[in-house]
Chains A and B, each alone.
Chain A
Amino acid sequence: MEASIKDGFDHRRFLTGLARGLAGALLFALPMFLTMEMWDLGFYIDRSRLFLLLLVNIPLLVLLARRIGFERTTTLREAIRDASIAYFLGMISSGLILWAIGVLRWDQSPGEIVGTIAIQSVPASIGALLGRSQLGGPEVGDEEREDDSGRDDGGVETSYAGELFMMAVGALFLCLNVAPTEEMILLSFKMTPWHAIAVILASIALMHGFVYALSFMGGHDLEAGTPGWHALVRFTLPGYLVALAISLYCLWTFHRLDDVATTQAMVTVVVLSLPGAIGAAAARLIL
């Protein structure tokens, strides 16, 4: 142990962080690695939409790394470093797994191979970052972890924008899982508008219930004397709107809304927002 610490750098700790990142990428992105539509999307996805998705992922990872990095992140530079490592781990794990299960072959054109790895690396890189936070045990030094959002009497304050951002990450994660599948559009074709309205109300109720009503660990409480509907308007409804926006973006990226009429597109967005809303609520509890 002592031999691995040179110039104040703990190699073992760093390697553990990398291993946790890889484990996180596998844990969170394996469902996507094993989804047929995700392989095909690598071939046919519009390259400008893929490019945009890859670009959007960069600030997302940096912001996420600022909250939960491989190492104790205090500066923007460190956050950028952690985000880069996560993106790289996402690419490596996508490439290895897809090659191991026979989806990627040597005789494919470079465009296909790069496209397939690139699209999978987005959820895998988010998984790599989450792996650090969710798989990591308590470590010496974590108690002194400085959070730039400030502390008082042992509590961390999360800004309102921070809360919405974490909801967006949670929604994006679950949306990416299911948006490429055909089931999402098939469901929207089977559903009547009445079903859609029921799903909207159910999503909002589930979201609110996840965070406030059920006493999960990490659940939120209101300060004494605050009426219950305050949280609904201030957190749950904006959160649901975030889930809707994320699901719209995912469906557009995966060509599920091309040439589709407004109402039909809206119903598809509502269907995808159900997992999105649950992801957003779960992110508030977990992250």
Chain B
Amino acid sequence: MTKSSVSGHTESRDPHVLEWLTGMVSAACVLAMIGWIGVQAIRQRDDAPDLSVRVVRQEARSGGYQVEFEVSNAASATASQVLVRGELLDGDAVVETVETTLDYVPMQSKATGGVIFRHDPAGRTVRIGAVGYTDP
């Protein structure tokens, strides 16, 4: 309990046991968090982003043929301004190229987006990959 008066607030000397319990639990949680981040700090290496792109879904939409993708970053370094290029291939010939930029792909995390082709990908090959990024 805290007493407030004109001169300020004074914490009482004989607190309820619940206050101590809350304090202990809080201390444990904060220490656990510091421990977790500390382990990551020791284990981290000077890493570069490791990006891989996977097509999640493709379907016809009013604006064209929409291909949704998911970019995963397996490394412990974040990539920003990730440029993703999608190509529509007919045999070896490139029919159409589309690009989009993802703001961030955080470390060991995923980010999703989509590209829109004007030509129908049916019977053709869709190739999607990350072609560039900047360090945040």
A interface, CB within 8 angstroms of B? 153-160, 163-164, 182, 185-186, 189-190, 192-194, 196-197, 200, 204, 217-226, 230-231, 233-235, 237-238, 240-241, 244, 259-261, 263-264, 266-267, 270, 284
Bound complex: CA A163 to CA B15 (Å): 13
22 chain-A/chain-B pairs, Cβ below 8 angstroms = A154-B6, A164-B22, A193-B40, A217-B8, A220-B10, A221-B8, A230-B15, A233-B20, A233-B26, A234-B15, A234-B19, A234-B20, A234-B23, A237-B26, A238-B22, A244-B33, A259-B110, A260-B106, A261-B106, A261-B107, A261-B108, A263-B37
Interface residues of B in 81-129 (CB under 8 A from A): 103-104, 106-112
Q: Given contacts A155-B4, A193-B44, list 14 more A-B pairs with CB under 8 A.
A: A158-B3, A158-B9, A160-B2, A160-B18, A182-B103, A189-B80, A189-B107, A197-B38, A233-B24, A237-B26, A263-B108, A264-B108, A266-B37, A270-B33
Chain B residues touching A, majority SS: mixed
Interface centre among A155, A218, A266 (most CB of B within 10 A): A155
Flag if A241 contacts B29 (CB, 8 Å).
yes
Flag if B30 contacts A264 (CB, 8 Å).
no
Flag if A200 contacts B30 (CB, 8 Å).
yes
Contacts A156-B5, A261-B108, A264-B108 given; does A193 touch B38 at CB 8 Å: yes
Chain A residues touching B, majority SS: helix
Flag if B30 contacts A240 (CB, 8 Å).
yes
Flag if B4 contacts A157 (CB, 8 Å).
yes
Bound complex: CA A264 to CA B5 (Å): 43
B2, B13, B18: the one contacting A225 at CB < 8 Å is B13
In the complex, which residues of chain A have a beta carbon less than 8 angstroms from the beta carbon of B9? 158, 218-221, 284
Closest A-chain residue to B11, C-beta based? A222
**Nearest CB on A from B82, distance (A):** 12
**Nearest CB on A from B68, distance (A):** 14
B4, B13, B136: the one contacting A156 at CB < 8 Å is B4
Contacts A200-B30, A233-B23, A240-B30 given; does A226 touch B38 at CB 8 Å: no
Judged by a CB distance under 8 angstroms, whether B12 is at the interface is: yes
List the 8 closest A-B pairs by CB distance, nearest first. Answer: A193-B41, A155-B5, A261-B108, A233-B23, A189-B78, A237-B26, A189-B136, A223-B13
Contacts A231-B11, A263-B37 given; does A159 touch B1 at CB 8 Å: yes
Flag if B36 contacts A223 (CB, 8 Å).
no
Flag if A155 contacts B3 (CB, 8 Å).
yes
Bound complex: CA A104 to CA B125 (Å): 44
Flag if A259 contacts B109 (CB, 8 Å).
yes
A190, A241, A263: the one contacting B36 at CB < 8 Å is A263
Contacts A259-B109, A260-B109, A264-B108 given; does A190 touch B11 at CB 8 Å: no
